[in-house]
């Protein structure tokens, strides 16, 4: 009897503790959400007091090139996703199914290249792109993003492809399917969880990238959402926190929705490649 | 004949990916290595000359170049963040798995939020909403409690601690989820027999939970160490944005390389630093690979 009472007290204490931790985790987000609803533009706001308004959201959509930025973000993320997925599905199929000389060495080299922070070669890419006239173009950014995400894709999907029994393919081969048909008809449907998680990771990566997006894009109208948001708070004179907060919330919502949709697959889709290694 | 054709197919499937990676990832790294041997800067954009190892000597030997202190900061940053990240996440994950905690699903969902937020949005939100001297929540607390306002980002030590707090806020959810997953994969029967043997909770943690987690967590901890080591956005966005330099002179090696390339336009030095960092990363990953392999062969 005494021990159940003790246990209850312990659980109560633990619950209180976790409520505090959750609050700590959410406070910055909640505060910004409140800021985005506060009236009074400029920097003279008094926080959560005053009336709540959606004015900031209207302003950010109508007065700033928000829709243009959104369009750029969508073009870049979809373009990158297509390029990265097409190249990496082919390569990870080859790595998973064929034996060829230098395979393991190539996989290790890819891992090493992936460990190199891309920021460090940014200047070299900048010079290269100037030469190739790819600065200030969506195609240029798509190449950069796809190039770095391609390695992640190969590693992440190869592990999953390995777990698909090869007998299924052999049956189809006897029926006379070519390799390309095998990938499209058999591998891709079977590996759907890994492919979806990889594609979504690419999408999120591009959506969140601001450094290359601001360094390689020279005009405000070609910015992505990330670049535009960065610009909103970096520009000293037009700085307006409520406006910035509204933009921050708008930019995060799609990512939050996607994230919580695939969260269930996240652990399995991400670790299938790594654990086996 | 057949073997020959599969080989061709293999390379054919790899070709698009390898071309892309070659142009975007491999070539720029080699090019960076080439630039590191020249005196390329704003005044020598086209007519640069070879200077041999001068940039490397400047970075590694001359103390006033700032690279060595940046390196020390980076190592301290990685170590402190990793220890706190793993320790706090472990405590929280164990807490979440206490029997009878009914609301654990809600807590887990809420705690994942900082992970789901886009990283740069979180950083800017903290800059504006927490650390800002006029509107930041932290300063509101301080003034409400009767203290003076504090500029968290203007001096090195508070800036380091502020960046660390934010980094932990951003990286803890991932670690909690991973450790939580690891905890659930531990065989329950081990605990039951430990209780029969009269083990207390502390002993259960020390002799069962932590050793069982080690194997599952090793790759995740190595990956997170890389991420912490490479961390650029937090320090850059909080303290050294163009036109909004906060006053602290804190640098990690990555921000150091970036500043030299894009602020002081000293491309040669920046590239030399980049190559040195790359060598560090290669050595570290070879070392972890070998450690993992010997551990596997011991079992």
Does the distance separating the beta carbons of B243 and A234 come in below 8 Å?
Answer: yes
Maximum mean pLDDT: which of A40-44, A183-187, B280-284: B280-284
Q: What range does the domain containing B295 cover?
A: 27-41+48-66+271-299
pLDDT in tens, A129-182: 999 998 889 999 999 999 989 999 998 888 888 888 888 888 777 877 777 787
Q: Do B162 and B287 belong to one domain?
A: no
Q: Do B282 and B227 belong to one domain?
A: no
Q: Is B295 a member of any domain?
A: yes
Q: Do B293 and B210 belong to one domain?
A: no
Pairing type for strands B244-245 and B240-241 reads: antiparallel
**Are B21 and A113 spatial neighbours (Cβ–Cβ below 8 Å)?**
yes
Q: Is B107 a member of any domain?
A: yes
Lookup: tokens for A231: 């610009």
Give long-range contacts, CB 8 A cutoff, 24+ apart: B49-56.
B51/B268, B54/B268, B55/B268, B55/B269, B55/B271, B55/B272, B56/B272, B56/B275, B56/B276
Measure in Å the smallest separation between the Cα of A17 and chain B Cα atoms.
10
Q: Is A264 a member of any domain?
A: no
Q: Which residue of A has its CA nearest to B268?
A: A123
Report the percent of chain B where pLDDT is more than 90.
35
Whole-number Cα distances in Å, A158 to A95, A97, A187, A219, B223: 7, 9, 11, 39, 18
Q: Do B200 and B286 belong to one domain?
A: no
pLDDT in tens, A194-241: 898 899 889 989 998 988 998 898 887 888 888 888 877 776 545 677
Least confident residue range of A38-52, A171-185, B211-225: A38-52
Q: Do B99 and B166 belong to one domain?
A: yes
User: What ipTM does the predicted assembly reach?
Assistant: 0.83
Q: What range does the domain containing A105 cover?
A: 65-219
Closest CB from B13, B98, B125 relative to A32: B125
Q: Is A100 a member of any domain?
A: yes
Q: Is A249 a member of any domain?
A: no
Has residue A98 got a pLDDT over 80? Answer: yes
Measure in Å the smallest separation between the Cα of A67 and chain B Cα atoms.
18
The CATH number linked to B231 is 1.10.3720.10
Lookup: tokens for B21: 């990676």
Lookup: tokens for B173: 């959810």
Q: Is B95 a member of any domain?
A: yes
Sign for the CA dihedral angle at B188, B190, B192, B194 comes to: negative
Residue B276 to residue B102: CA distance in whole angstroms: 51
Q: Is B285 a member of any domain?
A: yes
Query: For an interface test with B, which of A30, A106, A120 has the most B Cβ atoms less than 10 Å from its Cβ?
Result: A120
Contacts of A163 (CB under 8 A, 6+ apart): A272, A276
Q: Do B246 and B123 belong to one domain?
A: yes
Q: Do B180 and B59 belong to one domain?
A: no
Q: Is B260 a member of any domain?
A: no
Q: Is B19 a member of any domain?
A: no
Q: Is B259 a member of any domain?
A: no
Does the distance separating the beta carbons of B129 and A245 come in below 8 Å?
Answer: yes
pLDDT in tens, B20-45: 999 999 999 999 999 999 988 888 88
User: With contacts defined as CB-CB under 8 Å, which chain A residues touch B169?
Assistant: 25, 28
Report the percent of chain A where pLDDT is more than 90.
26
The CATH number linked to A113 is 1.10.3720.10
Tally of domains in chain A? 1
Q: Do B133 and B242 belong to one domain?
A: yes
Q: Do B160 and B278 belong to one domain?
A: no
Tally of domains in chain B? 2
Q: Do B125 and B215 belong to one domain?
A: yes
């Amino acid at each position: 009897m005494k021990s159940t009472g003790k246990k209850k007290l312990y659980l109560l204490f633990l619950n209180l503790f976790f409520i505090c931790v959750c609050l700590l985790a959410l406070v910055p987000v909640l505060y910004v959400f409140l800021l985005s609803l506060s009236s009074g533009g400029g920097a003279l706001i008094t926080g959560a007091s005053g009336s709540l308004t959606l004015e900031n959201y209207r302003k950010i959509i109508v007065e700033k090139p928000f829709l243009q930025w959104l369009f750029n973000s969508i073009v870049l993320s979809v373009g990158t996703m297509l390029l990265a997925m097409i190249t990496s599905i082919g390569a990870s199929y080859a790595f998973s199914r064929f034996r060829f000389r230098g395979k393991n060495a190539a996989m290790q080299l890819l891992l090493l290249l992936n460990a190199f922070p891309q920021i460090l070669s940014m200047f070299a890419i900048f010079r290269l792109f100037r030469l190739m006239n790819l600065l200030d173009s969506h195609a240029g950014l798509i190449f950069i993003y796809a190039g770095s995400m391609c390695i992640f894709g190969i590693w992440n999907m190869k592990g999953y492809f390995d777990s698909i029994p090869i007998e299924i393919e052999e049956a189809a081969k006897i029926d006379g399917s070519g390799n390309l048909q095998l990938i499209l008809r058999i591998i891709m449907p079977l590996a759907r969880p890994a492919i979806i998680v990889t594609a979504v990771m690419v999408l999120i990566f591009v959506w969140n990238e601001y450094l290359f997006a601001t360094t390689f894009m020279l005009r405000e109208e070609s910015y992505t959402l990330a670049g535009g948001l960065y610009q909103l708070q970096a520009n000293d004179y037009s700085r307006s926190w409520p406006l910035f907060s509204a933009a921050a919330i708008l930019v995060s919502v799609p990512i939050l929705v996607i994230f919580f949709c695939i969260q269930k697959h996240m652990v399995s889709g991400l670790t299938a490649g790594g654990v086996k290694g | 004949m057949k073997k020959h054709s599969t080989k061709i197919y293999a390379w054919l499937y790899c070709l698009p990916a390898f071309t892309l990676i070659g142009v975007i990832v491999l070539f720029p790294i080699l090019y960076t290595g080439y630039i590191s041997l020249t005196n390329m800067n704003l005044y020598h954009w086209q007519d640069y000359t070879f200077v041999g190892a001068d940039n490397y000597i400047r970075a590694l030997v001359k103390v006033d170049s700032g690279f060595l202190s940046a390196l020390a900061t980076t190592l301290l940053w990685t170590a402190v963040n990793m220890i706190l990240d793993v320790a706090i996440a472990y405590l929280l994950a164990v807490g979440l798995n206490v029997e009878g905690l009914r609301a654990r699903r809600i807590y887990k969902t809420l705690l994942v939020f900082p992970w789901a937020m886009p990283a740069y949005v979180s950083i800017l939100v903290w800059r504006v909403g927490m650390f800002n001297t006029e509107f930041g929540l932290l300063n509101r607390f301080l003034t409400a409690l009767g203290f003076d306002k504090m500029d968290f980002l203007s001096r090195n030590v508070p800036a380091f601690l502020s960046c660390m707090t934010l980094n932990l806020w951003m990286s803890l959810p991932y670690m909690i989820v991973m450790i939580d997953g690891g905890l659930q994969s531990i065989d329950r029967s081990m605990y039951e027999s430990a209780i029969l043997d009269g083990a207390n909770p502390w002993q259960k943690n020390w002799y069962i939970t932590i050793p069982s987690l080690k194997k599952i967590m090793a790759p995740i901890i190595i990956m997170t160490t890389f991420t912490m080591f490479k961390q650029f956005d937090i320090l850059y966005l909080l303290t050294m944005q163009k036109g909004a330099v906060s006053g602290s002179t804190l640098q990690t090696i990555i921000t150091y390389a970036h500043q030299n390339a894009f602020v002081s336009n000293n491309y040669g030095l920046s590239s030399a630093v980049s190559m040195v960092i790359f060598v560090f990363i290669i050595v570290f990953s070879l070392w972890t690979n070998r450690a993992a392999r010997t551990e596997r062969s011991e079992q």
